[in-house]
Each structure stands twice: as structure tokens, then as C-alpha cells.
């Protein structure tokens, strides 16, 4: 056992520090007369203990020839997992992130039995305590030329790092001696949230629920344009909400529509899923009950996909692609109503104009108000719900389109009996329509298990009709 390794633990241990997210890892070091061995990064064990699954992509090693070599304080825009392979260092960290913890400090001596996880935005520095110290660190982004980041004076009086070897005697680069003081540092901003498809009904609802998010309309970033997706600076984002989609169900059955539907609903999400892996952002993607054939009265998240038409098939392909992203929420929904043209507003208009419509009565489901879908999105993201697929709609009893039309007529002051039931077959006669699932209701058990209680669809409908005058 080398002298620098002092009583390592028998199992990996994790400890918090005064800096949020900065974690100390103590690990076993197995020694014999030949030397020693350790598992410096063991994903399964460390993640199980609570270390972030940060996805390292690059390993850097700094050899420090002489005791007193001092480096930092650097705040690169990526997470680090720092350790030593030989020797000892005095490690020091300063929180440079915008927020209440800005300026918080932590120090610890690191030998081969100690490692530290350093989250993005925390300034990192160390001082070698022995000749020939080898300092190693994993990072979860590739180094890029020209990357700008905050740095801090090693001798900053506010941080007051108690360097064991006075900086006047230490080996410090000229650049590090000229870093600014804490009061001159611009705090590092958090990674952003972006909404793709912000011009649609769901996109506008998400913008209201995530007021600080960047919003991108189709004109700014087209999800069907793979090249444009590739070129976007995704390393600036922590959360990507993809509300963009081809939703013209019937047009998807045409030659041109088929291409458009697959580009927007399948190819685009597949590109985003790959980018989510590369840039470590959380991807939220929205799907539909059309990925099922509608033979089940209510659809569970794990029901095998069985789409009937091109729209459903393209969405199902997008679902499969998004599921490959390590951090994803795939939210399946149905019968969406929001700020724009939709079934409820159409019925309001017909009621107001004295028209008595015939409405399909053999397709059943639940309404999903875009605001409720956005509220559920925020809940899942903020509550730290497990990644995966969730059904999301309003709650309450399963209804038919005809039932909903009668409810809208009654809320509009018309006799519900003015709505006549028709079958899907009768309604489709003479029209070029895509196939629809007969049953679109979604089982909400998994969503409720996260602590989210969907609002009853009828209650939401009453408020929507009261707040939204007919077109």
C-alpha cells in the first residue's frame, strides 16, 4: 500500500458537499507488493449510489512534475470526474453558476482512493502535493477550440482558498495568475430549454408553461430538415421539447403527404434522439393514440404498436427512435384541443350558426387540452419522474365524438338532441379519409403513479368553452 493511500473504504461511498451537485466519491484501492488497483469509474455502482449518469466521452491526464504545480480555477461547460492516478493533490472548487450558491467553495485532499464529481459551472482547481503527481479527469463533452468559460483568480480574497503551498512559491501559469476576481466574473448561465414547433397548439401551451424557454417555430427550425437539426447548437440546451409534427392525418395518405409525415414524425425525431445521446439533453416528444389499431378499450404504454394508416405508422417509427435516447419522455396523447382550429371550436361554431351536425359515435376516447398536456410535461420533468413512455390526457369517463359534440352544444345553449349519431363508415362514405382507431382512450395509471392527477375532461371543457368564444 503506497503511503499516499490512507485507509480506503471497502465499498464505494458517496458524500455531498456545500456546493450543490459537487460530490465526493471514496473508493476501494486494492494493494499488494506489486502496487494497487482500483475501479476509478464504475458506472453501475456509482449511479446506484446517486452519482449522475453523466456519460463521459473524453479522458484527460495532467502530469505534474513538481510539487506545487497549481492549475485553475477553470469553469469549463461540461461535467468532470476528477481523480489522481499517482501522488496527491489539494483540490479546490468554487461555484460559478448563476444562483444562490454562487461563490460557495469546497476543498479536499485527493489521493487514489478519492474522486470528485464536478458539475458544469463549478470552477475546478488543484495543487500537486507530491512530485510526479498524475491528475486524471473524465469529461462528458469533447473539447472544442475557442470554447469560452469563466475563470477565477487562484488568490481571490472572497473565495479565500487555503492553498497548502503559498501561491508565491507555487508553479502557476501566467494565464492563471491573471484571471479575474470573483466580483468581476460573469456567472455561468444554466443550460436552456427550447420548444420546437412553438407555433402550434401544443407549442403555444408549452411556451405558457415554460415561460423562460426559447421558442422555435417551423420557419426557424424545421424538424423535417435533418441538416438543419444537425447544425443547431444543441450543447446549449438541457431540455428539448419537440412539439413539432405532421398532424394532417388524411393528407398523410397522399404521395407527398406520406413523405412529409415520415420526415417530420419519424426521421426528425430519430435525428433528435441521436443528438440527445451526443449532447446529453433530455428529449420530450409527443405521440398519439394513432400508433394503436384501436381494438383495446384503453391503451397501456406497453401495448404493442399496431398503427392503421401512414400518420400512425410514421408516429410509431418516431416513438421507436425516441425510445433510444437515454433521457427521454415519450408522451402519448389523444384528441388534443388547444388555441387554434379544433373539434370543440368547430362544434361551437356550428351551434352558433344553427346547424345540426351528424357526428361519429363509434370512435371513443378522452379529450386532451393542450394546457393539460403542457402541465403534465412540466410535472414529469420537474418531479424527476423516471424516463420513458407515459400516456397523457385529461381524466374522466371515456366518451364518443358525438357525446362531446352534444356537451359543446349544451354549453353553447343549443339542444344536445340537435346532434345526430353516425357511424365511421357512414361519415366516411364518398370521402378520402385515413383509417382511425375505434378506441383512443389511454390508460392513465402510470401517469398518476408519478403524483399527477389529470383534470376531468368535462370540467376542462366547460372552462374552455366559457373562456373561448366560438369562432
Active site positions, annotated: 74, 137
Strand arrangement, sheet containing 282-288: 214-216, 192-196, 237-242, 282-288, 328-333, 388-391
The pair phi, psi for residue 420, each rounded to 5°, is -105, 135
Among residues 305, 306, 304, 271, the alpha carbon closest in space to that of 285 is found at 271
DSSP reduced 3-state for 299: strand
Q: Do the Cβ atoms of 148 and 186 come closer than 8 Å?
A: no
Question: Would you give the DSSP letter of residue 324?
Answer: T
DSSP reduced 3-state for 31: strand
Among residues 153, 177, 435, the alpha carbon closest in space to that of 293 is found at 435
Question: Would you give the DSSP letter of residue 24?
Answer: E
CB within 8 Å of 9: residues ≥ 6 apart: 26, 27, 28, 113
Burial class from Cβ neighbours inside 10 Å (0-12, 13-18, 19+) for residue 440 reads buried
- Calculate the alpha carbon distances from 38 to 35, 257, 284 in Å: 11, 57, 38
C-alpha cell belonging to residue 35: 502496487
Q: Do the Cβ atoms of 72 and 123 come closer than 8 Å?
A: yes
Amino acid at each position: 500500500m503506497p503511503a499516499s493511500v490512507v485507509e480506503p473504504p471497502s465499498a464505494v461511498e458517496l458524500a455531498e458537499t456545500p456546493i450543490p451537485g459537487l460530490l465526493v466519491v471514496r473508493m476501494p484501492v486494492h494493494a499488494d507488493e506489486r502496487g494497487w488497483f482500483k475501479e476509478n469509474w464504475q458506472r453501475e455502482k456509482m449511479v446506484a449510489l446517486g452519482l449522475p449518469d453523466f456519460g463521459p466521452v473524453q479522458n484527460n491526464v495532467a502530469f505534474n512534475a513538481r510539487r506545487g504545480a497549481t492549475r485553475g480555477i477553470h469553469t469549463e461547460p461540461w461535467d468532470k470526474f476528477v481523480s489522481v492516478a499517482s501522488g496527491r493533490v489539494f483540490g479546490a472548487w468554487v461555484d460559478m453558476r448563476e444562483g444562490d450558491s454562487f461563490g460557495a467553495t469546497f476543498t479536499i485532499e485527493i489521493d487514489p482512493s478519492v474522486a470528485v464529481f464536478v458539475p458544469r459551472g463549478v470552477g475546478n482547481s488543484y495543487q500537486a502535493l507530491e512530485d510526479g503527481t498524475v491528475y486524471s479527469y473524465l469529461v462528458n463533452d469533447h473539447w472544442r477550440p475557442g470554447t469560452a468559460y469563466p475563470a477565477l483568480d487562484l488568490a481571490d480574497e472572497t473565495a479565500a482558498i487555503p492553498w497548502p503551498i503559498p501561491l508565491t512559491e507555487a508553479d502557476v501559469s501566467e494565464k492563471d495568475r491573471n484571471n479575474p476576481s470573483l466580483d468581476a466574473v460573469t456567472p455561468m448561465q444554466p443550460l436552456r430549454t427550447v420548444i420546437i414547433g412553438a407555433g402550434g397548439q401544443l407549442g403555444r401551451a408549452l411556451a405558457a408553461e415554460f415561460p423562460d424557454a426559447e421558442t422555435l417555430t417551423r420557419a426557424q427550425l424545421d424538424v423535417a430538415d435533418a441538416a438543419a437539426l444537425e447544425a443547431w447548437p444543441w450543447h446549449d440546451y438541457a431540455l428539448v421539447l419537440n412539439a413539432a409534427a405532421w398532424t394532417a392525418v388524411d393528407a398523410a395518405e397522399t404521395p407527398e403527404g406520406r413523405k412529409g409525415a415520415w420526415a417530420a414524425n419519424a426521421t426528425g425525431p430519430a435525428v433528435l434522439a441521436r443528438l440527445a445521446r451526443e449532447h446529453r439533453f433530455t428529449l420530450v416528444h409527443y405521440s398519439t393514440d394513432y400508433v394503436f389499431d384501436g381494438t383495446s378499450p384503453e391503451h397501456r404504454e406497453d401495448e404493442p404498436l399496431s398503427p392503421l394508416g401512414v400518420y400512425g405508422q410514421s408516429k410509431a417509427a418516431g416513438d421507436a427512435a425516441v425510445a433510444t435516447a437515454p433521457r427521454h419522455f415519450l408522451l402519448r396523447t389523444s384528441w388534443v384541443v388547444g388555441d387554434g382550429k379544433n373539434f370543440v371550436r368547430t362544434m361551437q361554431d356550428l351551434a352558433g350558426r344553427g346547424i345540426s351536425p351528424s357526428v361519429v359515435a363509434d370512435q371513443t376516447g378522452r379529450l386532451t387540452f393542450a394546457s393539460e398536456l403542457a402541465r403534465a410535461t412540466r410535472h414529469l420533468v420537474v418531479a424527476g419522474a423516471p424516463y420513458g413512455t407515459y400516456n397523457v390526457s385529461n381524466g374522466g369517463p371515456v366518451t364518443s365524438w358525438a357525446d362531446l359534440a352534444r356537451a359543446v352544444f349544451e354549453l353553447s345553449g343549443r339542444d344536445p338532441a340537435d346532434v345526430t349519431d353516425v357511424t365511421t363508415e357512414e361519415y366516411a362514405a364518398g370521402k378520402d379519409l385515413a383509417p382511425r382507431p375505434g378506441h383512443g382512450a389511454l390508460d392513465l395509471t402510470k401517469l398518476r403513479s408519478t403524483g399527477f392527477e389529470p383534470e376531468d375532461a368535462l370540467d376542462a371543457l366547460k372552462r374552455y368553452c366559457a373562456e373561448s368564444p366560438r369562432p
